[in-house]
Structure 1
Amino acid sequence: MLFKHLPDEIFQALSGSNRALIEAVLYDLADVFYDHAEDPIKEKSAIIESIEDTLHKLETLAWHDDQKESFESPKTIHDFALRIYHRLVNTGWLVEEQELYRISVLMTPQISMLLRSLVEISRHGKRNYGATVLSILSNLESVAKYPKERGVTLSQSAEASREFSAHLNQILLGIRSLQRELFSSRDPKAIVAGFFDLFVEGILIADYKTIKTSNNPFRFRRQILEHAQEFLANPDLLKSVTQCYVDQQLISYDAALAMVEKDCRDIIQTFSNIDQRLDRIDEYRYRLEKRAADTARYMDSSRPGMANKIAGLITDAAKFDELPVLKNVVSSKFVGMESAAQPMRRREPPPPRVMTPAEVSVNAIQLREQQRRFHEARQVTVVKLQSYLERQMQNQPNKHILDFTIESVEDFVCFDHLRYVGSLGVTAKKIEKAFEVRFTEQFLDVHDFVECREFNVVRRSEA
C-alpha cells in the first residue's frame, strides 16, 4: 500500500483550520532535520525554539480550535509553539524518545522522506540544465573509459535523464495550465502580475537564454548519444558494464543486461527528441509573452494618469456578452488609432548553415611567413645591436664607418641605429660602456644604402 508506512493521522495537521501555521513550521523544520553536519536527533527545547523563530517571522497569529479542548487558546508565542509542537507529535510528524529526564525528538525515515518531497514540490521552479547535462556526459565518459570499475554509474546517468525528461514535461504542463488561467482572466493587472510571478519566477528555466546560444547546455548531446549507442552496439563493452551491474547490485546477469539496455534506451530517447519538446515549450512561452506584452501595452499606451481608466474600461466591457457600440472612440487619444497596439512579430530562428573550414592557399602561407620574418628583422633589440658590433669590431680598437659591412636587413637596421645608441634607453647602457661613437661634421654615402654623418666606433678601454 502507498500509505502503509505513514500514521493514519499524518495529514490531519495539514487539513485543519491551522494548516497555514503548520505548513510554515514544517517548512522550517525541514532545514533543521536535514542539516547534514549535525545529529538528526534533536533536543525538545531546540525544536520548540525553532518553532518560535518561525512564528516570529509570520505577520499574524490566530489559532482556531477545530475540536473541543480542555485548555485555553494560546496567548503568547511560546504557547503557540507548544500547541503546534504537540499537534505535530500527536499526528505523527515528530517522535519523542525519553531517556531518564532527557527528551529527544526525531523524524522517522518515512516521515522525513515525505517532508522532503513536499518541500521539493514547494520549491520546484527554476532549474539549471547545464550542470545536469554535463554530469550525464561525465558519467558516460567514465563508463566508456572504465567499464568494469565504473559501469554502474550508467544507472545514475539514466536516472538523471529521466528526471530531466520529467522536468521538461512539468514545464510544458505548467505553461499550458498557466496559459489557460491567464487567458480566462479579464483583469489586465492580474494577467501581467501572473505572468511575472508564476511564469518568470516559477516555471522558466534558469539557463533558458543559453539554449539559443552557441554555449547552450545541449551542445554535448551528440557525444551523449554516441556513448549510449556504443554501449549497445559494442558486445565487449556491454558485457563489461553488465558485469559491473552484477557485482555492484548483486543481481543475475540477465537482469543486469536488461537494466543496462533499458538505461541506454532511456538516455537515447531523452536526448533524441529534445528539439521537438523544446519547440513546444517555446511555442507556449511565446503565446504567454505576447499576451502579457499586449496587455501591458494597452495599459501603458495612454496619457499620464489614464492607465487605471483604461483598465476599468476593459474590465467593464468584458462583462457584456456582446460588446456595446461606442461612439467617438476612434477620435479619443488614449484608445484611438494613435494608441492602437501592433502585435509583436515572432522571431524565426535563422536557417541552419553548414560550416565548412576555409582552406588557406600555400602562397598565402608563404607570404605571411615572409612578412613575419621581415617584421622580425626590422625589430631593433640590444642583443642584436651588441652582436652586430662584436662581429664587426672583432678585436680591433676602432673602426671607420666605411669599414662596416651590410649583408642583410638585420645588419642594415643595426648599422642605421648605431648613431642612436645613446637614445635607446637604459637597456643600451651596456653597449655605451663597451663602445663609443665619435662623429665628425662630414657626411658620407655608405655602400649606396644610407647617407649619414661620418663616425668612428672606438672600443672603450677596460680601465
Structure 2
Amino acid sequence: MLFKHLPDEIFQALSGSNRALIEAVLTDLAEIFYDHAEDPIKDKSTIIESIEDTLHKVDTFAWHDDQKESFESPKTIHDYALRIYHRLVNTGWLVEEQELYRVSVLMTPQISMLLRSLVEISRHGKRNYGATVLSILSNLEAVAKQPKERGVTLRQSAEASRDFSAHLNQILLGIRSLQKELFASRDPKAIVAGFFDLFVEGILIADYKTIKTSNNPFRFRRQILELTQDFLANPETLGQVAQCYVDQQLITMAEAQAMVEKDCRDIMQTFGNIEQRLERIDEYRYRLEKRAADTARYMDSSRPGMANKIAGIISDVAKYEKLPILKEVVGARFVGVSSAAQPTKRREPPPPRIMTPTEVSADAIKIRDRQRRFHEARQVTIPKMQSYLEKQMSLDKNKHILDFTIESVEDFVCFDHLRYIGSLGVTAKKLEDYFEIHFTNQYLDVHGFVECREFNVVRRSKA
C-alpha cells in the first residue's frame, strides 16, 4: 500500500491553515530536485533561499500556528522560510543529513515520486497527441522490421496507448463534472469564466481542432491497427518479440507471450473505439459551448437565463390538467421572440457517401493514347536527332538536303530542327562534334513538307 512507504505525518503540512504557502513552496522545490543536470543532494542554504524566493513571489501571506511550537512567531521573510523548512522536515518531506559541519537536504525516492505526481496533477492541462500517435506508429514499424532487436519498444507503445486512453477518460469525466457545475450556477460571469478557465484552458486537447481535419493526429490509426493485428496473427514475430521481453525483463516465455498479447490487445482496443469516445467528448463539448454561448448572449440583457426560466414555466404549467387563464398579463408581452433566443443549432456531419469509380469508354482511352503519342512524337530531344542523323547518314560522309527521307512525325520534327542545332543549347554540342552543317543562299522545297535553305550535312573527321 501507499502508506507503507510514506511517513505518517506526510499530509499534515498540506491539511493545515498554511497549506497554500506549503503548496507554493513544494511546487518550486520540485523544480530544484528535478534538475537532472545537478546533484540531487542539496545544501541547506540552497533550500532556504528557494523558500525565500517563493515567499517573495507570494503577494500576501500570514502564518497560522496550528500547534504549539518552540519557535517564535515569524517576523521576517527569513523567519517564515525557516518555519516552513522545519515544517517540511518534521512532516517527512525533506530529510537532513549532516557530515561534520555541512548539512545536506534530500528527498527520499518515495517522497520524490509523490511530489512529482502531485505537481503533474496540479499542472494537468492541454496535451498534444500528434507526436504521441506518431511515436507509437514508429515504434510498431521498428518492431515489424526488427522484432528481435526492437521488440521491447512494443511495451512503450502499449504504455503510451494506455496513457492516451486514460487521458481521454479524464477529459470525458472532467467535461461531465464541469457541465454539472456550470448548469447548476446562476451567475453568468461564473459560467463564462468557468467555461474558458476550466474547459478551454484546462481540459481540452491542444490539437482538438485538427481531429476533424485531414491532418488529424489519428490518421495513422489504420496502420497502427494493421501492424498490431499482424503481430498477433504471425506466430514467428510473436515469438521473437516475446523472446525480447524475456531477455529484457528476465521472465519466462509464457509470461512474456501473455504480456505481448496483452500489450497488442490494449493498443487495438485504444485505437479501435476511439471514434465513439471522441463523439461522446464532442457531445459534452457541444453542450458546454451552447451553455456558454447562451449565457454570453444574455450577459448584457436585463433577463439572463430567460430560456431556462421559460422551460421551467412550461414544465410547471404541464402539471395542470387545465391551463390557467392569465387575464391581467395578456398584453404585457413578458415572453417574446428575443427573450427566448437560442444559439445556432449544432451542425450535423453529412451522411457518408459511397464513392464509385466512373468507367471511361474504350474510345476515349484510344483518343487519349493517340494524343499522348502525338505529343511525345513532337518533343525534340538530342537522342532522337542523333538517331535520325545516324540512320540517314549511314556510312556516307556527306549528304544533301534532298537525300534525307521523312517517314513519320518524328522524322519531320528532327529534320526541321537540323538547321537549329547551333541554338539548341549545351546538350547539342555532342551533335556538333560529329556532324557539321553547311548552308547556301538557295531555298528548296523538301518533299512538299517544308521550304528551307539548302544545306549539306558533313560527318566530321573525329566521328
TM-score tier after normalising by the smaller chain length: 0.7 to 0.9
Flag the 1:247–1:388 CA change in 2: closer, same or farther, 3 A: closer
1:24 aligns with 2:14: no
Residue number in structure 2 paired with 1:58: 58
Residue number in structure 1 paired with 2:439: 437
Residue number in structure 2 paired with 1:90: 90
Q: Normalising by the residue count of structure 1, what TM-score does the alignment of the two structures yield? A: 0.78
Any idea what the Cα deviations from partners look like across 1:246-265, whole Å, max 9, x if unmatched? 55434455555554454444
Flag the 1:360–1:90 CA change in 2: closer, same or farther, 3 A: farther
Any idea what the Cα deviations from partners look like across 1:103-150, whole Å, max 9, x if unmatched? 222110010000010011112222233333344444445555555555
For 2:350, the aligned partner's letter is P
Give the Å deviation of 1:276. 2.3
Residue number in structure 2 paired with 1:249: 249
- Looking at structure 2, the residues matched to 151 and 453 of structure 1 have their Cα atoms a distance apart, in angstroms, of 74
- Looking at structure 1, the residues matched to 306 and 359 of structure 2 have their Cα atoms a distance apart, in angstroms, of 68
Any idea what the Cα deviations from partners look like across 1:277-318, whole Å, max 9, x if unmatched? 22211111111122222333444xxxxxxx3xx1x5427999
Residue number in structure 2 paired with 1:304: none
Give the root-mean-square deviation of aligned CA atoms.
Answer: 4.2
Q: Secondary structure at the match of 1:445?
A: strand
Q: Name which of structure 1's ranges 145-154 and 314-323 shifts more when overlaid on structure 2.
A: 314-323
- Looking at structure 2, the residues matched to 431 and 261 of structure 1 have their Cα atoms a distance apart, in angstroms, of 68
CA contact (8 A) 2:125 2:204 kept: yes
Q: Secondary structure at the match of 1:455?
A: strand
For 2:288, the aligned partner's letter is L
Give the Å deviation of 1:36. 2.1
Q: Secondary structure at the match of 2:406?
A: coil
CA contact (8 A) 1:22 1:84 kept: yes
For 1:377, the aligned partner's letter is A
Residue number in structure 2 paired with 1:302: none
Q: Secondary structure at the match of 2:441?
A: strand
Residue number in structure 1 paired with 2:304: 314
Any idea what the Cα deviations from partners look like across 1:350-383, whole Å, max 9, x if unmatched? 3334556677777766655543443233233566
- Looking at structure 2, the residues matched to 215 and 296 of structure 1 have their Cα atoms a distance apart, in angstroms, of 32
1:118 aligns with 2:115: no
Residue number in structure 2 paired with 1:274: 274
- Looking at structure 1, the residues matched to 403 and 307 of structure 2 have their Cα atoms a distance apart, in angstroms, of 104
1:455 aligns with 2:454: yes
For 1:48, the aligned partner's letter is I
Q: Secondary structure at the match of 2:201?
A: helix
For 1:456, the aligned partner's letter is F
Q: Which runs of 5+ in 2 are unaligned?
A: 315-327
CA contact (8 A) 2:158 2:267 kept: yes
Residue number in structure 2 paired with 1:172: 172
Q: Name which of structure 1's ranges 365-374 and 122-131 shifts more when overlaid on structure 2.
A: 365-374
Flag the 1:57–1:409 CA change in 2: closer, same or farther, 3 A: farther
Q: Which runs of 5+ in 1 are unaligned?
A: 300-306
Any idea what the Cα deviations from partners look like across 1:3-31, whole Å, max 9, x if unmatched? 12212222222223332222222212212
Flag the 1:156–1:413 CA change in 2: closer, same or farther, 3 A: closer
Give the Å deviation of 1:156. 3.7
What's the % identity of the aligned pairs? 78
- Looking at structure 2, the residues matched to 428 and 243 of structure 1 have their Cα atoms a distance apart, in angstroms, of 63
Residue number in structure 2 paired with 1:133: 133
- Looking at structure 2, the residues matched to 239 and 423 of structure 1 have their Cα atoms a distance apart, in angstroms, of 67
What is the count of residue pairs matched by the alignment?
Answer: 444
Flag the 1:239–1:391 CA change in 2: closer, same or farther, 3 A: closer
Q: Secondary structure at the match of 1:186?
A: coil
Q: Secondary structure at the match of 2:195?
A: helix
CA contact (8 A) 1:187 1:315 kept: no
Residue number in structure 2 paired with 1:181: 181
Q: Name which of structure 1's ranges 114-123 and 217-226 shifts more when overlaid on structure 2.
A: 217-226
Flag the 1:49–1:375 CA change in 2: closer, same or farther, 3 A: farther
Give the Å deviation of 1:101. 2.3
